[in-house]
Structure 1
Amino acid sequence: MSRARVYLDYNATAPLHPAARAAMGAAFDLCGNASSVHAEGRAARALIEAARAEVAAYAGTAPKNIVFTSGGTEALNLALTPHVETSSDKAKPFDLLLTGAGEHLAVLAGHRFAPSQLERVSLTPEGELNLEALGEALERARLAGRRVMFALQAANNETGVIQPVTVAADMVHAAGGLVICDAVQAAGRIACDLGSLKADAVVFSAHKFGGPKGAGALCFGPDGYHIKDLLLRGGGQERGLRAGTENIPAIAGMGAVLAATKARIAEQATALALLRDEMETRIAHALPNVVFYGASAKRLPNTSCFALPTLEAQVLLIALDMEGFAVSSGSACSSGKVKRSHVLSAMGVDPDLAMGAIRVSLGWESRPEDCVSFVEALAKTVRRIEARRDRPAA
């Protein structure tokens, strides 16, 4: 009898939460277009606005400041533009986008900023934003008369390292800049509302915290946000900021899971951190040459990123998959090929060691026995690979 598979890749996509499944099931039964004025259309609109209120409550802002998108990438595409105004600030366009060097590729792309308007701020060896380097970048921008937009993750998707967003936000605001926080990995795992982050906008992606794929949100602070060069123009949905008929089931699912899990974040974070720490202790005991990344920094409670010298991640991923364990490389993947992580490179990790990085990410369905069996399978797999590699050629 084959053993059930163990899913340990929540940072890529979390399983669908029961609250999301129930809300989506009800939404699928509605046939109306939310832009229609008849009863069916009004019912669809009511579902969207209920979800908008749920997301707003989680983000710590008013429902009118929530814009639904197809996911985090689209929300970042929408937000990262030089042509943004707030209700209290209609100054010249932004002409410099500062980002942390370890940001998701959706941020590093810069979107509607020209390459000459992009600058990356370095990381510390532990994977945190280098605040001294940020201060220097802001001073250079001031001397050059440039207006700064700053984008920073709440937590890194590969290492789980929680970024000093509030301190960075104070620095950027003092320089007259605007702060966009990519909270895609943080939402549902730690507090990441606009007030606690001191950000001007945050971005969520539903499938990272148990909602459906294909739904996201750009959440503005109380000062509002006006984008003058929209990505999608058309029927004027989402208060004119994102045209196109809304994906009502996905939106309903996103709102429902945030509402259902908001009160349990601290409790779940404590449980997951204990589970993660015990797993890392077992890994270190079984494989003493393991290297953990960001372990001395403050991390998401569910995330562990580590490497074993001389072992490539791609080999380990395939072998562990055959053993029934779904984990990920610590690096970005494209077309199924594992590439060296730009995050670990920014941390100064040796390139050969970075090629072996594995990311294990836990979630609300993870059990202690899953972690125990994973460590056993990992140790067995490593020994088998090393024995095969060390065997003399015939």
Structure 2
Amino acid sequence: MTANEKIRTFGVVLNNKLYFCSGDRNFYEYDPATGQQRVIITTGSWNESSGVVLNNKLYFGSADGNIYEYSEYHLNRNLGKINDNSDNAILNELNYLNPDLDISQLEIINKTKNSAILKIKNNLNNNIKIHYSIDNGQNKIINLNELIKKALFFKFRNENPNLKFKEINYIDTNNLNFSDIEITKKENSFLWSNVPENVCSDKEIINKTPNTRSFNVPACEYNSKSKLVFQITTGLTKTKQENKLNGWNINSDDEMKLTDFTNINNKNSEIINELSNNFDLSNTNKQEQEMILSIFKEPADKFELNPNEKLKITYPVRIITSKVILNLKQKITGNITAKIIDDNNKEQIVTLSITEVMQILQKYSLLPNEITIDKNNDKITFNGEAFFSSEREGPVRTNTVTTIV
């Protein structure tokens, strides 16, 4: 252990590491397990304070007239997917994952699309790097369970500044009411194309005689197919009460049905279709359904060719595709009741309306863009999105006649 000036104090131990200060204005940390030493705080003047440990934090006094606080943060640094990387969203997501963290002592000094560097105030060398990804909305599931838990955490923290959040013991969401899902058309496109592969063998016939002749055209048989594809790209999980402590159970028994959407591509955009509340918006797995439309039979035929003419017969597959982007809208009303335990193991019962939950998230920049709040009617609206396509295929006989020179 070394310093640039005299060491005039005893060290102090915190979390199996030794901390000491020097007249060079630095506080040092020494880890005997690794033999590594580093500067954790640089003050404005010389230091002759041994420091004290209180509530797992270290406090030093300096001749510059200030008392410095230091704590070694052991953080969950992976935020996962976040709605945006604003400073408020990053710090609040980090606080939710680390309830004991005092985010007022943190500031963001560098930020990218996938990570951020956080600086602990009054600490020159102990920066924190966290990781995240911006949710791009593709195959995006809005987890209502997690949103409720976040809102409860911030409500407890704000209303109980002298208590520490420990856990959520119980949440009752049985009083939430989910409306039927309204479906409207957002985008519609139609495309047909020929696939170069042939369903029957190519045939080439040449009339090498000086006279016009009839040639037999072979028969072709092929099973024409139809395929329906449906996928929810932005959905919402619903919550159900579960008896296990801290348990969350997502109701995924209701599977989406392709038959509910087979006629959507024929509807006008201004028409609103409705699905029962049993329809599950949380299932983003792509569903496909393929069937035989009919058997294509091209009978044997005859074709006349003049002298030196060549006939080429192909059967390319023509595919007709209809693609529709659907808007899904669902309204949610009702209340949530929860039991929150503090660090003294005391229980608080909290009741929130679903709009209050979302207003708290909005305040802390954690409200997903897909959710809107209607304060007057005390409800929220979830705006999802789905993709539906219908594809039909069948062969088309193509005759090409050329003259041989």
Decide which structure has greater strand share: 2
Please, what TM-score do these two structures have when normalized by structure 1? 0.18
Higher Cα Rg, which structure: 2
Q: Which has the higher contact order (CA 8 A, sep 6+)?
A: 1
Decide which structure has greater helix share: 1
